[in-house]
């Protein structure tokens, strides 16, 4: 059984696959923040992470779902199962829950979809990563110092500024196919935030000075889709 917060159909807003139609499966729970406003400062101090102070994602509680339930929820959102290009496992921290039976079931039901994960990189995966038999696309957005990362290679490394600095992840950068910077949004409340122009400018300047990095925008917030 899995604790699932929501399953929704949208466009991937960031990174290499930006603009691609995708079903997102958001898992409840995270190892760095409880998801509750009252715990932001406590969990930031406890876990040595800045993200509890500004994370805007609602991943609290969720519904208990079986493997078949998850597959059915994904399938209910798309008309042509064999044409779905991308399934994104996200959270919270999805690797707390994602396992081989779920991955196998999604691959079987949606054979043309690439299976991706968005993770903070601090949890050892229970499935093969960057593998056709596991999760094919791996995006690590680090929220702790590089020395504490368990996943040190993947498809994308996405650093959120100004809370984190790309320079702090130089020791793992070579393990990733693509390097991205994303501008921290201003959280208005859990589930709602706005893009900050100053943070975008800061990220853009870094990318111009360090062209091995690319700027990625949270285009889903600009477009107005989930």
The pTM of this model reads 0.94
Among residues 220, 7, 12, the alpha carbon closest in space to that of 106 is found at 7
In order of start, what are the domains of the chain with their CATH numbers?
2-223 (3.20.20.70)
Which stretches in the chain have pLDDT values below 70? 187-193
State pLDDT tens for residues 34-86. Answer: 999 999 999 999 999 999 998 989 999 999 999 999 999 999 999 877 789 99
pLDDT at site 105:
98
Report how far apart, in Å, the C-alpha atoms of 170 and of each of 33, 112, 129, 147, 210 are. Answer: 25, 34, 21, 11, 12
Q: What is the 3-state secondary structure (H, E, C) of 174-207?
A: CCEEEEEEEECCEEEECCEEECCHHHHHHHHHHH
Residues noted as catalytic: 24, 30, 51, 55-57, 118, 220
């Amino acid at each position: 059984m899995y604790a699932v917060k929501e399953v929704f159909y949208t466009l991937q807003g960031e990174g290499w696959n930006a603009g691609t139609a995708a079903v997102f499966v958001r898992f409840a729970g995270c190892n760095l923040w409880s998801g509750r406003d009252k715990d932001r400062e406590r969990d930031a101090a406890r876990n040595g992470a800045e993200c509890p102070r500004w994370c805007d994602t609602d991943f609290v509680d969720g519904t208990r779902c079986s493997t078949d339930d998850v597959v059915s929820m994904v399938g209910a959102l798309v008309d042509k199962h064999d044409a779905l290009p991308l399934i994104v496992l996200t959270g919270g921290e999805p690797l707390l829950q994602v396992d081989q039976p779920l991955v196998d079931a999604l691959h079987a039901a949606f054979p043309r979809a690439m299976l991706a994960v968005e993770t903070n990189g601090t949890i050892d995966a229970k499935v093969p990563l960057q593998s056709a038999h596991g999760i094919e696309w791996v995006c690590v957005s680090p929220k702790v110092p590089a020395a504490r990362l368990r996943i040190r290679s993947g498809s994308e490394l996405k650093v959120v500024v100004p809370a984190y600095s790309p320079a702090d992840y130089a020791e793992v950068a070579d393990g990733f196919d693509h390097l991205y910077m994303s501008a921290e949004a201003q959280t208005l409340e859990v589930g709602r935030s706005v893009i900050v122009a100053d943070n975008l400018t800061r990220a853009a300047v870094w990318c111009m000075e360090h062209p091995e990095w690319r700027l990625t925008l949270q285009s889903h917030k600009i477009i107005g889709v989930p």
